[in-house]
Chain A
Amino acid sequence: MNYTGFISCILTMVEVELRRLRHDPIEIFTRAIQPVLWVIVFGSVMAKVRAFPGVGDYVTFIAPGVIMQSATFIALAYGIMLVFEREAGLLKRLLTVPISRVAIVLGRSLAGGIRASTQYIIVLIAAIIVGAKINLNPLGLFIGWLTIIYVAMGFTGLSILIASTLKTRERFMGIIGAISMPLFFASNALYPVDIMPEFIKIIALGNPLTYTVNILRKILIHGDYDILVDLFALTVFNAISIMAAFKCFSKIIE
């Protein structure tokens, strides 16, 4: 398989996702409900009690965190689609088509990343309505969107890995349920890392969500583009999770 074939396979996997969304656009809105409620209800209540001094306006503070939480959850749930596709014969057939399996995994990860990013603008608008001060520089908004897709790709990879290993819906949903909330709470999405107990701090520093939320806060709130270190951390996470996903992917149909 040549280079153009490789790229075209990745793009075709993304195309499947986009066509799916086009047939069912309501999904974008239903997916935005939960994060919008987080910002509006949780954000405004917590802003009132001023629980975390030093974070400035609380709704502004958590908007990026909540966006990332919902993106991460959607990305982590992406694997359920592969479990369904495995139960049907789709994956069996996909793996007998003469295309690179690396391209399939990369393509599905990118597709999951894009799927996970679709509620971004809706949640931002909701946050602004309840008083969040977001920097509306178009370039910043765009880089923010790319960042979400990028890290959600890594989480989708993780999800593909889990789906390939566990194979059944029940086990898959069990694990995803178990890891997604702790991932959210052991990050800087809702409160700054400084106030955490020591051992949670360590977890938070190993948590890719922390770095993504860092990037989004810098860009969307402060207009600060000093994000290389955070990007590097995310790249390490993505490389590991997607490589591991590829290693296990062929096992999914066994």
Chain B
Amino acid sequence: MILEAIITNNVVKIYSGGVKALDGVSLTTEEGSSHALLGPNGAGKTTLIRIITTQIKPTSGSIKVLGFDVISQGSRVRELIGYVPQEMSLWTELSGFENMLIYSKLYGIPSAQRKDIIEELLEFMELRDTANRLVKTYSGGMIRRLEIAIALMRKPRVLILDEPTIGLDPRARSLVWSKLLSFKKEHDMTIFFATHYMDEAERYADKVTLLNRGKVIIEDSPVRLKEIVGGNSITIKLHNSRDRDYIVESLKNSEFKITILDEKSLSFSVNNISRDLPRIIEAIYKLGVIVEGVELGEKTLDDVFIALTGMRVEETPGRLREVLSTRRMIRRGG
């Protein structure tokens, strides 16, 4: 039988200032799976995660974690989850090892086991050599790995991560994820994470819930979500920028769906690439336009998001500010 790690039912959250951050969110996370909550800045991801982790109460609705109600059985829930907040959760004036030691005591890990557990996790997270340095000298990736190591100390059944790789470069991101997935596999842990990175949800989640303005737009596996928009995209790069509008104008009554990408490139959305590619090339050739290159691509979750909401996930205003302030926080420390 598949157990549900997290079930939320019609969760509404209205902050005291009157902001409706969640507007009836219902979702389900199967035990042992990896579930992404994907949405632009301000979608309500952090709010939902803070409710699930018993930090704040919903205005209405119910939430269960492994069968326990987060409102009435909060302390049971806290026993079972590991959590890494979006911002930084370490004492920066202490060393990495000291941070782990302090949390191991707070978690009530018996003193005989503490050292072994800490050493093992530091090794696993590739932090052994830097364990005695103060956290304020750590890079963003090291900070995240240490925070995750702390969350894993008690082998939580459900690990909840809020934007685990925000502000990290691609290499640091993939290291964080390879560690997460290998731990998940070994301990059969459930991962529930919020992200605004499309590719992160696509690559690392079994199921993706698209959240926008406090509402679930759709919930399914990344593969199935991409089937909704279907097919491939063909990007045509042009030699002359003035040809762009000429093509759009000339082909506006054709069967192709065209999106303008930038000055000199257009994207064609197609369902059957082997049939449509020659036809597109032929049509453009007939217009006498010089083509510099053609790129074939798969649809991304971004296309799903555009199709369903008319906006892109990553281009929401305010994003930059938040990344900067998170980075500043990581540097300045707590």
Contact = CB atoms under 8 A, between A and B. Distances in A.
Given A24-B93, A93-B85, A253-B55, A88 B329 contact: yes
B242 interface: no
Contacts of B334: 84-85, 87-90
Interface string B298-334: 0000000000000000000000000000000100111
A97 B103 contact: yes
B102 A96 contact: no
A93 B83 CA distance: 7
Contacts of B125: none
B87 A89 contact: yes
Contacts of B108: 5, 8, 98-99
Contacts of B83: 92-93, 96
A96 B81 contact: yes
B26 to A, nearest CB: 23
Instruction: Give the interface size bracket for B toward A.
Output: 20 to 34
A194 to B, nearest CB: 45
B56 A12 contact: no
A90 B50 contact: no
A15 B105 contact: yes
A93 B94 contact: no
Interface in A69-104: 84-85, 87-90, 92-99
Given A93-B83, A97-B78, A98-B79, A88 B55 contact: no
A247 interface: no
Interface of A: 1, 5, 8-9, 12, 15-16, 19-20, 23-24, 84-85, 87-90, 92-99, 253-254
Q: Report, nearest first, the 8 A-B pairs whose CB atoms are least far apart.
A: A89-B85, A88-B334, A89-B87, A93-B89, A98-B78, A89-B89, A12-B105, A90-B334
Interface of B: 16, 50, 53-56, 75, 78-79, 81, 83-91, 93-94, 98, 102-103, 105-108, 134, 329, 332-334
